[in-house]
Structures are given as C-alpha cells and as structure tokens.
C-alpha cells in the first residue's frame, strides 16, 4: 500500500472514524467518512463525516455550534480506520453528553 | 431501544469496536464484533472480535500472547458501536507497535 493510501474499497467507500478528545483521550463518537468527508475535514479543520442515514456530508456542530476542531488525523496499519483527534467546542453527543459512550455494558447473560 | 440492546441489524450483524487502553486512553485498534464475539469477550474477559477476512471469531493474542484484558465495555447512544477498554499484555498491532494508529495523515491535497 502506498503512503497515505486509505483502503476505501474494502469499506465500500466508507471508513469508520473514531473521534477522540485530543487532550483527555476520551472517545467521543464513532462515525464514518468517505473520501470527500475526509477532504472537507482537512480543508476546513472541523470534523466532517458522511451520514449513512441522510446520504450526505455532515460537519459536526454546524447547527448546534458544537464543532470539533481537528488537531490531527491518524490512520491505522491497514488503512481502513481513522482517528480524528479534536478539541471539542461542546458536547459531541446529541443526548447532551460529552461522549456518545456514556453507558457501560452489563453482562448479557 | 431497550436497555443494552445493540443494533446488530443496522450493521448487518457486525458492530465496530474501538479497543482503548483503559489506563492511558490510547486508541489501539478498530475491529468488529458480532453477537457471539461480544459474548465470548464477556465470558473469558479477553478482547474477542469477528475476523471479516477469516470469517471466524478471533481472540486477540491467543497465539502471540498479547492478550487484551477487558476492564469494561461501553456502548454508544444509538447502540451501533462499542469500546473495549482493556489492559494490554503487549502490543496491539501486528506491526509490533503498541497501537495500530502510529501514523499521522498529512494533507491529501
């Protein structure tokens, strides 16, 4: 694989993105990006995703004001996942929680 | 959605899992779990995934010894993503790096 090449095909055009608070390390959300969403993210410096339900690009916080400023973007060894490391301007979750991961899974048994 | 219900259908049976070092907050890998992988993880207390390439369950480190002990499992607001918070017994990445996210994306432009 070439340097910086991401394996868009493997993910049928979408790559999962972990959004992480760059300062605290807290994982905020998992969402998806296509090539365009990643390019937009790099252009404007704000976390942008591809919404699978609305089939459109979606820059986090454009309506709520809770934008997520990109500090750096990491990609994994096999080029099929990303981390947006961000400085959050508000809560990342539509529930009002800082992170979407505010619940702990109990035993399923 | 009921308490603890995960949206397996939305993900066609697979849910993305962020594996995170519970102590440092470092994101180690992104992989996938089906219901069985999650149950196995809870039973044995070691991070277990579903391998899309091999089509089988896969407990991290069973051959290398680099197992990942589960401290807690978090799930997100809409039940379609998980975090395994772990204590790693070695590197999480097959490259030998602690994390699979050891590279920073440069500008694509």
Over the stretch A38-66, which tens digit does the pLDDT of each residue have? 999 999 999 999 998 899 999 999 999 99
Average pLDDT, chain A: 90
- What is the chain A residue with the closest CA to B18? A18
At residue B107, the pLDDT reads 59
At residue A106, the pLDDT reads 79
Q: What is the DSSP string of chain B?
A: --TT---TTTTTT-EEEEEEETTT--EEEEEEE-HHHHHHHHHHSB-EEEETTTTEEEETTTTTS--EEEEEEEE-TTSS-EEEEEEESS-SSTTS-SSS--EE-----
For the cut 70, the answer to whether the pLDDT of residue A22 exceeds it is: yes
Tell if the CB–CB gap between B101 and A75 is shorter than 8 Å.
yes
Domain A19-88 grouped into CATH 3.10.20.810: yes
Q: Compare A6 and A87 and report the one with higher pLDDT.
A: A87
- What is the chain B residue with the closest CA to A31? B81
Domain map (residue ranges) of chain A:
19-88
ipTM: 0.90
Average pLDDT, chain B: 90
| Class in CATH terms, B17-84 | alpha beta
């Amino acid at each position: 694989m070439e340097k910086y090449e991401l394996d868009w095909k493997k993910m049928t055009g979408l790559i999962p993105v972990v959004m992480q608070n760059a300062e605290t390390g807290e994982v905020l959300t998992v969402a998806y990006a296509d090539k365009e969403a990643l390019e937009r993210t790099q252009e404007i410096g704000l976390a942008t995703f591809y919404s699978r339900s609305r089939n459109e690009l979606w820059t986090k916080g454009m309506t709520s004001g809770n934008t997520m400023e990109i500090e750096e973007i990491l990609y994994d060894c096999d080029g099929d996942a990303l981390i947006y490391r961000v400085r959050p301007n508000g809560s990342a979750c539509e529930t009002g929680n800082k992170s979407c991961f505010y619940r702990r899974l109990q035993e399923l048994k």
